[in-house]
Amino acid sequence: MKEIEAIIQPFKLDDVKQALLVRGVDGMTISEVRGHGRQKGHTETYCGQEYTVDLLPKVKVELTVPDQPLEEILKTLSAAARTGKIGDGKSFVFDVAQAIGIRNGDRGDAAL
């Protein structure tokens, strides 16, 4: 099993959710996060005053998937989240040691 952690543009969340659902992924955790990568943030001027916008609003999507369709899921996710511009985000993949369903005690892929 792998865990995918993807940081994406907030307005792409619906597209990503929809695309993953079509691929059969129906469980995920969403958080509203702020941060910056290479995009770095920027300085804005408004009415003669400067505001530093160093942390940009993003959405973090976390999902755990079986090893098998991992590549397809990553492709689907990237395709749905891409605009082609700086700030589109990143995906990170981690190994997961175990998954346990709290209600029924299912383990491994069955718990996903």
Partner 1 sequence: MVTQHYSAAAERIRETFFSDGRAGAVLVSRTQLVDGIVRSLWPPPDGVAVFAVGGYGRGELFPFSDIDLLILVASEAARESIREPIAPFLRSLWDEGLRVSQSVHTVAECHELDRNNVELAISLLDRRFLMGDPAVAARLNPRNRAELIQALIGLTRERHAKFQNTIHHLEPHLKDAPGGIRDLHVVRWLVQLTARDAELATVDFETLFQFRCYLHYLTGRDHNILTFELQDQIAELQGRSAAQVMRDYFRQAGSIARNCGQLLRINEAPTSGLFAQFRDRRSRVSNADFTVSREQIFFRVPHQAQHDPELIVRLFVFIARHGLALAPGTERRLAESVVVFNRMLWPVLHEICALPHAGQALRAMHETGVLRSIFPELREIDSLVIRDFYHRYTVDEHTMVAIEGLLKLRDSEQVPFAELAKELPDIAVLIMALIFHDVGKADENESHVISSARIADAALERIGMPQRERQAACELIRLHLEMSTIMNSRDLTEPATAQYLAEKVRTVEQLKYLTLLTWSDISAVNPAAMTQWRAGLLWQLYTVTYRELTRELEAQRIKTSFSDLPHRRRFLDGLPTRYLRTHSEAEVDLHARMQTKSREEGIAVALQYSGSIYTLTILMPDRPALLADVAGALSSFGLNILKAEVFSNRHLTAVNTFVFADPLRTLELNPEERERLQAVVRQAAMREVDVSHLLRGRLRRPAGKRRLTPQVSVDNQVSENATLLQITSEDRPGLLYELAAAIARQECNIEVVLIDTEALKAIDVFYVTHKRLKLADEYAFRLASVLKEVCQY
Write each residue from 23 to 42 as x if it is in contact with partner 1 (CB under 8 A), else as -, in one continuous string.
---------xxx--------
CB of 50 to partner 1, least distance (A): 10
Write each residue from 49 to 68 as x if it is in contact with partner 1 (CB under 8 A), else as -, in one continuous string.
x-x-x-xxx-----------
Nearest-angstrom CA–CA distance, 45 and 29: 36
What b/e sequence results for 19-46 when a residue is b if at least 16 CB atoms lie within 10 Å of its CB, and e otherwise?
bbeeeebeebeeeeeeeeeeeeeeeeee
Residue 6 binds partner 1 (CB under 8 A) = no
Among 14, 72, 106, 109, binds partner 1 (CB under 8 A): 14
Residue 57, by phi and psi: left (phi above 0), alpha (psi -120 to 50) or beta? beta
Residue 106 contacts residue 17 (beta carbons within 8 Å): no
Instruction: Give the count of residues interacting with partner 1 (CB under 8 A).
Output: 21
18, containing H or E segment: helix 13-22
Q: Quick one: 27 or 35, whose CB is closer to partner 1?
A: 35
Chain positions contacting partner 1, by CB under 8 A? 9-11, 13-14, 32-34, 44, 46-49, 51, 53, 55-57, 83, 85, 87
